[in-house]
């Protein structure tokens, strides 16, 4: 048996690995996906490769997320330590942009596959199987005899219509026993935000356009197959942006997809999508809700401050953010969003503007944090040019523009780390409860209870408003006093208050989930599942382990 | 193509999560990765037969499990070597304080989770014990979690922490070495290394 191990996060079905697996399968290669979601998976992945009677002839490491790169590099080192002698390659956004540094610093890696790698991985495996040279295959980065990185030309971007559908083995995720699976109808995003490595990635291969679309009929056929073969009812569109930069064309595309889905005979389904605020118009979203049966839309608000909109190159205005919320409210659509509260140019005024926006949209769950500097992004390049980066390519850091705003940021993190980023971070898990409510409303209208629905909305509103109030107290404090011992006392008081609110909210959230569970009488609510499994993606801080 | 079982147990609809802010580290990328690989390998190679069997047995049930809720936690007393389940890490959760306090985090690792652990006592050299918080949650597939908060004696202290662990009648003392540094930002991780005690470390 000659097989390839594909190692990566698999919290949801990892479509990047599953697309690779499908292309490998079409080329006659067997592959296995080994989930590496956290330290807890380290032993099983290592054993699955080195403990196998016939180890794989190649290992592919999915390095899309910069903050998890140390985990995957440690895995490469550990594989060599345990005697693995096959080829180790890596791919994904981070590996593509940091290929030179990775090959320079980590001899455990043999190569990097840059960009969308369906064809590159197949060609690499063919060459390895044949014993022929692979170094100059399109998309490959190799190491020269002198130890330097050598990049061949980029491979042509795949024709999305010609790609085999991603492999769909295994049991899907479920919410109240309704099957959930991700799917993509496009790759890329038309926007070009300074902090976004997705935009940087697609700008590298398709400058100026940055997105490609699948044919609606092909997408609908895949959805129908997923429902027929695996019972999927909830389709999570992981398109970087489900929409295109023209409302009329977006509307036509959504209608075409809805027509194709109808023609395929799908009737009982729901969708989840992502949008930019400017994509949210009454006409487009009416079709999204009514014909594509959308039950959740992540709207990339990111910032509502004029300063932030410029720094992050959002190509939008505050009014569009507000309109997106207004449209969602008018349609009864559940949305959620993130706010990048702190960026390299943030001021106290921009923080206050963002808090005002959260206040305005408090009936929808959100999280907030700092803009991180990702490989390949214009923002990282700018900060390097300005000499403001500290750390290294695995973990860039920076200080905010003024001492006051840096102090504010540190005080905010001291108060909000557990809520926003800790294990079971409530800012994330409460989204699961809201999703449960939507599932019941859509799939179980007979047991839908408007009182319970309103209680769930009120609960996430309570958490949002508590976050706003705490942040405003911190902002007033920083604006009105110099750094000193009062900081410690205030943080202690506010953090205590925040934890107390979280205890209350969590208890009520679980009570709502429990009541939904009892009413539906099948499967489990996402509240229970997300409580355990959504955490690893948030833990950017490397964790030491003991023997 | 076949898929790994463990991944399927966990599948969910992930929110669009923001990564926690991190700060630059003092070590080089190679040093950091080597240290991480060393610690993970140490744990991998030191797995007890029981813990290893638990992880392997889990692999064989994943894709056939319809209900993806993690298994409920088990009592640590069923383990022949319960304290091998405990992993340790460190973080400085706040930049407030002179120097800011550090948190030693002790939690059970792997699946299934185990509960019933105790922290019977903590002794600190080059620092002061501030608090021991038992944050174990046995419900909903939970697990064991203890936060030991320590005020360092100085901004560059090398701190030794002796932790008396308990599980039923079994007890053991674990010693950890922490080279403290003042963090640039709240939430920064801090290296924790176990020091093997020469004498009888306990009954496990």
Interchain contact A397–B (C-beta under 8 A)? yes
Report how far residue B177's alpha carbon sits from residue A443's, in angstroms, rounded to the nearest whole number: 54
Residue B170 and residue B163 in contact, taking contact as beta carbons nearer than 8 Å: no
Contacts of A460 in chain B (CB under 8 A): none
pLDDT at residue B116, as a whole number: 85
Report how far residue A537's alpha carbon sits from residue B7's, in angstroms, rounded to the nearest whole number: 14
Which residue from A110, A186, A176 is spatially nearest to A444, judged by alpha carbons?
A176
Residue of A170, A239, A374 for testing the chain B interface, max B β-carbons within 10 Å: A170
Q: Which two tokens stand for residue B105?
A: 């985090």
Which residue from B148, B143, B150, B135 is spatially nearest to A503, judged by alpha carbons?
B135
A166 → chain B, closest CA residue? B1
Report how far residue A192's alpha carbon sits from residue A239's, in angstroms, rounded to the nearest whole number: 15
Q: Which two tokens stand for residue A29?
A: 């290669």
A23-37, A350-364, B48-62, B103-117: least confidently modelled range: B48-62
pLDDT at residue B57, as a whole number: 27
pLDDT at residue A413, as a whole number: 86
- The Cα of A154 is separated from the nearest Cα of chain B by a number of Å equal to 27
Which residue from A464, A347, A394 is spatially nearest to A98, judged by alpha carbons?
A394
Is the four-CA dihedral A257, A262, A265, A266 of positive or negative sign? positive
Domains and CATH numbers, chain A: 3-151 (3.40.50.280)
Angle between helices A485-520 and A426-443 (to 10 degrees): 20
Residue A544 and residue B194 in contact, taking contact as beta carbons nearer than 8 Å: no
Q: Which two tokens stand for residue B100?
A: 């800011």
Exposure on the CB side of residue A413, measured as CA atoms within 13 A: 24
Contacts of A272 in chain B (CB under 8 A): 13
Interchain contact A469–B (C-beta under 8 A)? no
Contacts of A491 in chain B (CB under 8 A): 94, 96
Interchain contact B98–A (C-beta under 8 A)? no
Q: Could you tell me the pLDDT band of residue B19, with boundaries at 50, 70 and 90?
A: low
Q: How far is C-alpha A63 from the chain's CA centre?
A: 13
Q: Do B4 and A32 touch (CB under 8 A)?
A: yes
* Tokens 């083995």, residue located: A169
Helix (H, G, I), strand (E, B) or coil at A39: helix
Domain positions in chain B: 71-195
First-last CA distance in chain B = 41
B51 → chain A, closest CA residue? A43
- Whether the model clears a pTM of 0.80, i.e. scores above it, the answer is no
Task: For residue A521, count CB atoms less than 10 angstroms from its CB and return exposed for 0-12, middle for 13-18, buried for 19 or more.
Answer: exposed
Answer yes or no: CATH 2.102.10 is held by domain B71-195. no
| Dihedral Cα B135, B140, B142, B146, nearest 10 deg | 0
Q: Average pLDDT, whole number, for chain B?
A: 72
Task: Give mean pLDDT in consecutive 10-residue pieces for chain A, a chain of 547 residues.
Answer: 90 94 97 92 94 95 91 95 95 97 96 98 97 97 93 96 94 93 96 94 93 97 97 95 96 98 97 96 98 96 97 96 98 96 96 98 94 94 95 88 93 88 84 95 97 97 98 96 86 94 96 96 86 30 29
A544 → chain B, closest CA residue? B89
B96 → chain A, closest CA residue? A488
Instruction: Judge if the upstream peptide bond of residue B99 is cis by omega within 30 degrees of 0.
Output: yes
CA angle A178, A524, A15 (to 5 degrees): 50
Contacts of B15 in chain A (CB under 8 A): 336, 367, 428, 431-432, 530, 534
Is the four-CA dihedral B185, B95, A341, A477 of positive or negative sign? negative
Residue of A41, A541, A546 lying closest to B6 (CB–CB): A41
pLDDT at residue B77, as a whole number: 75
Q: Do B24 and A34 touch (CB under 8 A)?
A: no
Residue of A30, A48, A67 lying closest to B1 (CB–CB): A30
> Of all residues in chain B, what percent carry a pLDDT higher than 70?
64
pLDDT at residue A545, as a whole number: 30
Q: Do A421 and B32 touch (CB under 8 A)?
A: no
pLDDT at residue B13, as a whole number: 66
Q: Do A545 and B189 touch (CB under 8 A)?
A: no
Q: Do A543 and B141 touch (CB under 8 A)?
A: no
- The Cα of B1 is separated from the nearest Cα of chain A by a number of Å equal to 5
B 38-77 → A contacts, CB under 8 A: 39-44, 46-47, 52, 55-56, 58-59, 62-70
A 37-76 → B contacts, CB under 8 A: 37, 39-48, 65, 67, 70-71, 73-75
Q: How far is C-alpha B60 from the chain's CA centre?
A: 25
Residue A341 main-chain phi, psi, to 5 deg: -65, -35
Residue A470 and residue A497 in contact, taking contact as beta carbons nearer than 8 Å: yes
Which residue from A58, A65, A10 is spatially nearest to A33, judged by alpha carbons?
A10
Structural element, H or E, at residue A271? strand A270-275
Provide ipTM, 2 decimals: 0.88
DSSP characters over B75-104: EGGG-SSGGGGEEEEEEE--S-SSSPPEEE
Residue A271 and residue A218 in contact, taking contact as beta carbons nearer than 8 Å: no
pLDDT at residue B110, as a whole number: 60
B 126-185 → A contacts, CB under 8 A: 140-141, 145, 174, 176, 184-185
Interchain contact B30–A (C-beta under 8 A)? yes
Q: Which two tokens stand for residue A241?
A: 């942006």
Helix (H, G, I), strand (E, B) or coil at B56: helix
pLDDT digits (tens, 9 = 90+) for B182-193: 887 776 778 899
A529 → chain B, closest CA residue? B69
Q: Which two tokens stand for residue A345?
A: 């140019």
A61-70, A450-459, B21-30, B130-139: least confidently modelled range: B21-30
Q: Could you tell me the pLDDT band of residue B7, with boundaries at 50, 70 and 90?
A: very low
Beta carbons within 8 Å of A491's beta carbon, 6+ residues apart? A411, A414, A415, B94, B96
Report how far residue A503's alpha carbon sits from residue A499's, in angstroms, rounded to the nearest whole number: 6
Helix (H, G, I), strand (E, B) or coil at A367: strand
Report how far residue A442's alpha carbon sits from residue A453's, in angstroms, rounded to the nearest whole number: 12
| Dihedral Cα A520, A168, B142, A537, nearest 10 deg | -120
How many contacts does A have with B, using Cβ atoms within 8 A? Answer: 304
Strand B127-134, strand B145-152: pairing: antiparallel
Contacts of A487 in chain B (CB under 8 A): 96
A139 — alpha (psi -120 to 50), left (phi > 0) or beta? left
pLDDT at residue B12, as a whole number: 66
Residue of B20, B55, B95 lying closest to A43 (CB–CB): B55
A 157-186 → B contacts, CB under 8 A: 167, 169-175, 180
CA angle A221, A224, A228 (to 5 degrees): 140
> Of all residues in chain A, what percent carry a pLDDT higher than 90?
86
pLDDT at residue A72, as a whole number: 96
Residue A295 main-chain phi, psi, to 5 deg: -115, -10
CA angle B53, B54, B55 (to 5 degrees): 90
User: For A166, which DSSP code?
Assistant: P
| Continuous H helices in A27-136 | 42-50, 69-81, 93-97, 99-105, 118-130
């Amino acid at each position: 048996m000659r097989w390839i191990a594909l190692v990566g996060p698999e919290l949801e079905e990892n479509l990047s690995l599953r697309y690779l697996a499908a292309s490998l399968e079409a080329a006659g290669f067997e592959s296995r996906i080994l989930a590496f979601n956290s330290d807890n998976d380290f032993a099983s992945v290592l054993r699955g490769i080195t403990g196998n009677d016939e180890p794989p002839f190649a290992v592919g490491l999915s390095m899309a997320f910069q903050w998890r790169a140390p985990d995957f590099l440690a895995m490469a080192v550990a594989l060599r330590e345990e005697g693995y002698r096959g080829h180790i390659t890596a791919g994904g956004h981070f590996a593509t942009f940091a290929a030179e540094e990775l090959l320079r610093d980590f001899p455990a890696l043999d190569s990097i596959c840059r960009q969308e790698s369906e064809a590159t991985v197949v060609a690499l495996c063919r060459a390895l199987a044949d014993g022929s040279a692979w170094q100059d295959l399109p998309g490959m980065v190799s190491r020269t005899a002198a130890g330097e990185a050598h990049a061949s030309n980029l491979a042509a971007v795949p024709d999305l219509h010609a790609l085999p559908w991603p492999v769909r083995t295994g049991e899907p995720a479920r919410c109240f026993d309704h099957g959930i699976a991700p799917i993509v109808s496009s790759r890329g995003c038309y926007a070009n935000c300074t902090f976004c490595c997705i935009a940087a990635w697609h700008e590298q291969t398709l400058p100026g356009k940055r997105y490609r679309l699948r044919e609606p009929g092909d997408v609908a056929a895949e959805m129908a197959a997923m429902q027929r073969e695996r019972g999927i009812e909830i389709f999570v569109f992981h398109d970087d942006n489900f929409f295109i930069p023209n409302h009329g064309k977006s509307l036509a595309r959504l209608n075409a997809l809805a027509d194709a889905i109808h023609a395929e005979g799908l009737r009982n389904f729901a969708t989840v999508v992502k949008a930019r605020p400017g994509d949210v118009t009454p006409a487009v979203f009416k079709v999204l809700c009514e014909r594509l049966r959308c039950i959740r839309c992540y709207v990339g608000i990111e910032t509502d401050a004029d300063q932030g909109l410029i720094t992050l190159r959002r190509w939008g205005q505050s009014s569009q953010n507000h309109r997106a919320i207004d449209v969602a409210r008018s349609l009864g659509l559940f949305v959620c969003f993130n706010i990048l509260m702190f960026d390299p140019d943030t001021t106290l005024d921009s923080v206050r503007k963002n808090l005002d926006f959260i206040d305005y949209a408090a009936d929808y769950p959100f999280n907030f944090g700092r803009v991180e500097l990702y490989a390949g992004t214009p923002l990282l390049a700018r900060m390097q040019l300005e000499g403001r980066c500290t750390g290294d390519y695995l973990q860039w850091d920076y200080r905010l523009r003024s001492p006051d705003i840096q102090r504010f940021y540190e005080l905010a993190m001291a108060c909000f780390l557990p809520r926003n980023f800790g294990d079971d971070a409530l800012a994330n898990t409460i989204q699961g409860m809201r999703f449960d409510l939507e599932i019941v409303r859509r799939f179980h209208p007979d047991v839908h209870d408007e009182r319970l629905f309103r209680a769930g909305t009120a609960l996430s509103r309570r958490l949002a408003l508590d976050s706003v109030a705490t942040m405003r107290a911190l902002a007033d404090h920083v604006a009105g006093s110099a750094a000193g011992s009062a900081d410690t006392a205030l943080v202690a008081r506010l953090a205590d208050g925040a934890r107390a609110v979280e205890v209350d909210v969590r208890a009520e959230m679980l009570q709502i989930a429990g009541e939904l569970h009892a009413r539906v009488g099948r499967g489990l609510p996402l509240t229970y599942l997300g409580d355990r499994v959504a955490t690893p993606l948030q833990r950017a801080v490397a964790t030491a382990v003991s023997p | 193509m076949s898929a790994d079982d463990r991944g399927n147990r966990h599948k969910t609809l992930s929110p669009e999560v923001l990564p926690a802010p991190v700060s630059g580290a003092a070590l080089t990328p190679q040093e950091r990765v080597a240290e991480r690989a060393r610690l993970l390998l140490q744990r991998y190679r030191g797995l007890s037969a029981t813990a290893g069997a638990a992880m392997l047995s889990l692999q064989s049930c994943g894709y056939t499990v319809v209900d993806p809720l993690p298994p409920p936690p088990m009592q640590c007393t069923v383990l022949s070597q319960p304290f091998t389940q405990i992993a340790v890490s460190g973080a400085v959760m706040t930049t407030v304080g002179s120097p800011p306090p550090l948190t030693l985090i002790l939690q059970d690792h792997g699946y299934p989770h185990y509960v019933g652990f105790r922290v019977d006592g903590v002794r600190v050299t080059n620092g002061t014990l501030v608090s021991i918080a038992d944050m174990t949650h046995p419900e909903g597939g939970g697990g064991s979690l203890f936060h030991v908060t320590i005020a360092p004696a100085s901004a560059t202290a090398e701190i030794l922490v002796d932790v008396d662990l308990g599980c039923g009648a079994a007890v053991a003392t674990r010693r950890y070495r922490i080279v403290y540094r003042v963090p640039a930002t709240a939430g920064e991780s801090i290296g924790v290394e176990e020091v093997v005690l020469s004498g009888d470390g306990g009954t496990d």
